[in-house]
Amino acid sequence: MEAVCTFRVSGKRPQLWDPETGARRELPEFSSQDGRIAVPLRFGPTQSWFVVFGENSRPAPPKAGAKNFPTWARAAALEGPWQVSFDPKWGGPVGPVTFEALADWSTRSEPGIKYYSGTATYAGKFQTADLKAPTLLDLGRVEVMAEVTLNGKSLGILWKPPYRVEVTGALQRGENTLEIKVVNLWVNRMIGDEQLPEDSERNANGTLKAWPAWLAEGKPSPTGRFTFTSWRLWKKEDRLVPSGLLGPVTIQVVAP
């Protein structure tokens, strides 16, 4: 979404402060009239900004042709294959699984992926030739959070759309190694556990009659369940929720 925001300020130069990352930069595109400053801003979904007019910032005319926000264009798509590693301690398969293309975990046939909840790590490689232009990595759709590491450098956690991060300083000429850790919700694991026999005494409405002895003793569930709740929130026939890295994953550069 784009909007022109007007502030009751004059004689100062606007700065954009990112509350998520702490980054600050000048906003070269603005206009001044009648004791007010109008600033074009761009917002992603659920995004917010601080616009700051510092006491020591000197007023200056906008630079010709300068824009507050660049326009990004797709330069390449990272289509796979991906090596995806799940945690066997939470029911995931042992060893990496090859995803020829990105897919929703809940649509897979393997129970260890279909009902998986937790962290899974996607590993892939791609080639880069131009290291000069500002570059973004856009993950597309993520369910629900992701941490990006490029060539061994952590680029932070992405927890809301747009799931994108600047990778300019982490790129290297030639082959690049990409690692994306994705975390989903607990819903699917609890629905998966409902496919297994009961491991505690329950009332008809799903509430607990008594704390089971195995839980009090710190032992695993005797029926192989991975989760335990005092109230059964989900049934085995409930619909699974989308999970994982759904993409498309793309490399984007500033459009000319």
Helix (H, G, I), strand (E, B) or coil at 216: helix
Report the pLDDT value the prediction gives residue 16, as an integer from 0 to 100: 96
Q: Verify that 52 and 84 share a domain, yes or no.
A: no
Nearest to 251 by CA among 145, 103, 123, 133: 133
Number of domains in the chain: 2
Report the pLDDT value the prediction gives residue 54, as an integer from 0 to 100: 80
pLDDT digits (tens, 9 = 90+) for 44-53: 888 899 999 9
Answer whether 136's CB lies under 8 Å from 164's CB.
Answer: yes
Q: Does residue 13 belong to any structural domain of this protein?
A: yes
Q: Does residue 233 belong to any structural domain of this protein?
A: no
Q: Verify that 134 and 60 share a domain, yes or no.
A: no
Interatomic CA distance for residues 95 and 146, integer angstroms: 20
**How large a percentage of the chain has pLDDT more than 70?**
96
Interatomic CA distance for residues 93 and 120, integer angstroms: 11
Q: Verify that 54 and 86 share a domain, yes or no.
A: no
Q: How far is CA 52 from CA 15, 37, 56, 79, in A?
A: 5, 12, 11, 40
Q: Which of 14, 49, 69 is the last residue of a domain?
A: 69
Angle at 82 between CA 241 and CA 140, to 5 degrees: 55
Q: Verify that 84 and 107 share a domain, yes or no.
A: yes
Residues of the chain with pLDDT under 70: 56-64
Answer whether 44's CB lies under 8 Å from 3's CB.
Answer: no
Q: Does residue 229 belong to any structural domain of this protein?
A: no
Report the pLDDT value the prediction gives residue 220, as an integer from 0 to 100: 96
Q: Verify that 22 and 89 share a domain, yes or no.
A: no
Q: E-assigned strands of the chain? A: 2-7, 15-17, 24-26, 31-33, 36-42, 50-52, 72-77, 82-85, 97-99, 119-128, 135-138, 141-143, 145-150, 153-158, 164-166, 174-183, 244-247, 250-254
Dmax over Cα atoms in the chain, in whole Å? Answer: 74
Q: Verify that 137 and 34 share a domain, yes or no.
A: no
Report the pLDDT value the prediction gives residue 66, as an integer from 0 to 100: 81
pTM of the predicted structure, to 2 decimals? 0.89
Q: Verify that 48 and 130 share a domain, yes or no.
A: no
Q: Verify that 53 and 85 share a domain, yes or no.
A: no
Q: Verify that 131 and 39 share a domain, yes or no.
A: no
Answer whether 83's CB lies under 8 Å from 96's CB.
Answer: yes
Q: Does residue 80 belong to any structural domain of this protein?
A: yes
Q: How far is CA 10 from CA 2, 68, 74, 115, in A?
A: 23, 19, 38, 57
Range of the domain at 136: 74-186+242-254
Q: Verify that 153 and 178 share a domain, yes or no.
A: yes
Q: Which of 69, 103, 125 is the last residue of a domain?
A: 69
Q: Does residue 197 belong to any structural domain of this protein?
A: no
Q: Does residue 23 belong to any structural domain of this protein?
A: yes
Q: What percent of the chain is helix, strand and coil (3-state, nearest 5)?
A: 10, 35, 55
Q: Verify that 88 and 173 share a domain, yes or no.
A: yes
Q: Which of 69, 97, 118 is the last residue of a domain?
A: 69
Report the pLDDT value the prediction gives residue 197, as an integer from 0 to 100: 96
Specify the pairing of strand 244-247 against strand 141-143.
antiparallel
